[in-house]
Structure 1
């Protein structure tokens, strides 16, 4: 294959990945080969070949012959390309581990899905599903609800109106947008998220939003452990978690500011 053909294939592959990612981001119906071909005005056979290659690379994934969604490699690459606060988050996560022995995570939101960007070194064992790109629901995880912190009930209702709550989450999970909004109101009064067995049995999660210098939510920082581990030092944990989130937010601002100064100088 000559260089022009390679460039063409790469451009078309990136168009496919972008379309899949955008539809996930906005909670729209996911697409199969024929729908992707129609949306992108490409030959179905070519889309079939490119999506197979993208799945092999881990940039897309597909369950059996269902629609395509972004794969784990897509999110790990996105995290690796961010040389700023995501990289700096490793230090904050390991500091939380050293102080409390809890698992720690940094996550972002894509529509009604939570995407794990980075986890602490003690958060996974060989073969575990906990790795960058892991997807969890926004409505029944501490990190997810931290990412919804600024959303009022009408926005939460709209976001979750087509979600199937049945069979998802642990015994503490919400089962309707109204229940999610009520949990949010409870936790806003506390100043932090407490998710008690909302996603997994026996797992308690504390979470806070990470904000940019302008005040918008950039990510969520959370710690997970048993009830005994969390309850025994909740005040100290929340204090450390909040301070770490503030440092990450300020780190993002400093890096963005430095990049802007560099661009202007150039």
Structure 2
């Protein structure tokens, strides 16, 4: 699978989730594979494969061979989008756009997949697949590898041992757990992730982990652009990303404290 077909799969998967969620919200009859395929004008075999993957992600669920409905992961993602630090991340993303003219994103990890929580206003064109909920591989994206920052060789190899690397990503993508480990070792030495055409052709991504007060990583913050756009100001971009990540970590801590106080008061 090349990066363009990966993007197509994501776009089609998001269309399926949106249709299921919309029908559920409006109280309309829920649909199975054949009805979804007809409604979306997609091949039934493709809808079957995509809905299976969406169910594995928890974005959809299905009892036996009945109709699809939104899954628990869909609701937890929606809830995450309403937390204070994610709402406030918009300010940080737009500040990065203003400073460097690059696209910016905040993402979280779910196993060997990365889920986009928020993207900057310049990160998508009409009809683009770049929307909250977009899923990308952890091993060949800057944000994904930032989320692996604290994982040593055994953890990375265990996470990716059953992954099919063939045909996924751009020309700079790793093709084995060992290659991922080597990229991580290289990038830790310079203090940030630099993914060079790892997911998309001609796209460079610079990323850093976002940490809680206890040091644990809970998100990845990244900017994307052309080779010239990233490499012409690498140190300045990395410094700005690191500072923004620190502020997001502080905001996440405040949000958790506020939630805890409300829980005690309740």
Secondary structure of the corresponding residue to residue 124 of structure 1: coil
Whether the 8 Å CA contact 1:75–1:132 is kept in 2: the answer is: no
Q: How far apart, in 2, do the equivalents of 1:77 and 1:24 lie? A: 14
Secondary structure of the corresponding residue to residue 97 of structure 1: helix
Inter-CA distance 31–244: structure 2 relative to 1 (3 Å threshold): closer
Partner of 2:123: 123
Q: How far apart, in 2, do the equivalents of 1:259 and 1:148 lie? A: 27
Structure 1 unaligned spans of 5+: 1-5, 10-19, 38-43, 61-68
- After superposition, what is the alpha-carbon deviation per residue over 1:185-236, rounded to whole angstroms, capped at 9, x for unaligned? 1111111000000001100000000001111111000000001001111111
Segments ≥4 residues shifted beyond 4 Å: 20-23, 30-33, 73-76
Partner of 1:136: 136
Partner of 1:16: none
- Asked if 1:77 corresponds to 2:78, the answer is yes
Secondary structure of the corresponding residue to residue 220 of structure 1: strand
Partner of 2:158: 158
Partner of 2:88: 88
Measured on the aligned residues, the alpha-carbon RMSD in Å equals 2.6
The alignment's TM-score, normalised by the length of structure 1, stands at 0.75
Secondary structure of the corresponding residue to residue 210 of structure 1: strand
Larger radius of gyration: 1
Q: How far apart, in 2, do the equivalents of 1:86 and 1:253 lie? A: 12
**Higher relative CO (CA 8 A, sep ≥ 6), structure 1 or 2?**
2
Whether the 8 Å CA contact 1:117–1:132 is kept in 2: the answer is: yes
The alignment's TM-score, normalised by the length of structure 2, stands at 0.75
Structure 2 unaligned spans of 5+: 1-23, 28-52
